[in-house]
Amino acid sequence: MSERPAVKLAWIIVLGGAASVVVGDPLWRWVSGLGPGAGFAFGMFCGSGILCCWALASAALRRRQWVRCIGAAALGCVAFLALACLVPGRNGRLVGSIGMASDRRMWVEENPAVWVAIGTGLALGALAVWHGAPRRATGRRRRPGSVKE
């Protein structure tokens, strides 16, 4: 990787991490307040969205479908922000809880079952990306299907 893309990637990671500290827990709490099970559904979306949304944005960018590209990138950013705050820090607390008082916990820490939803979403997202990945050409032609007479 050359120096320029590495610097851009580093800035994206630093700024995304800082934004996730500020926005992470309020985002999880807002979504979980929408209804029963909404936080778990959001966890599953984030797990699959972190993989699928960037693949969709890349495909839309190649086809010059700007609206789809912007929409998929925005959903990918939301998934990234929601998951980036879940990285454990040096003191054992999640990064999203750095700005909180020491006696408060993040919504994800209060509901540890959401990790299963995130893991399931990651598995489904990986399966979807793998299934939708282009296949290599083998160079052989398929024979036309035999027609029974």
Q: 46 with 120: CB under 8 angstroms? A: no
**Where do the structural domains in the chain lie, given as residue ranges?**
12-131
d(CA 65, CA 28): 30
List the chain pLDDT tens, one digit each, 149 residues: 456 777 777 787 788 778 878 888 888 889 888 988 898 999 999 888 888 888 888 888 888 988 998 898 888 888 888 888 888 877 777 877 777 777 888 888 888 888 999 999 889 888 888 887 666 656 666 666 655 55
- The alpha carbon of 33 is separated from its chain's Cα centroid by a whole number of angstroms, namely 21
Give me the residue label for tokens 């559904």.
41
Q: Residue for token digits 């820490």?
A: 109
Distance from C-alpha of 79 to C-alpha of 86, rounded to nearest angstrom: 11
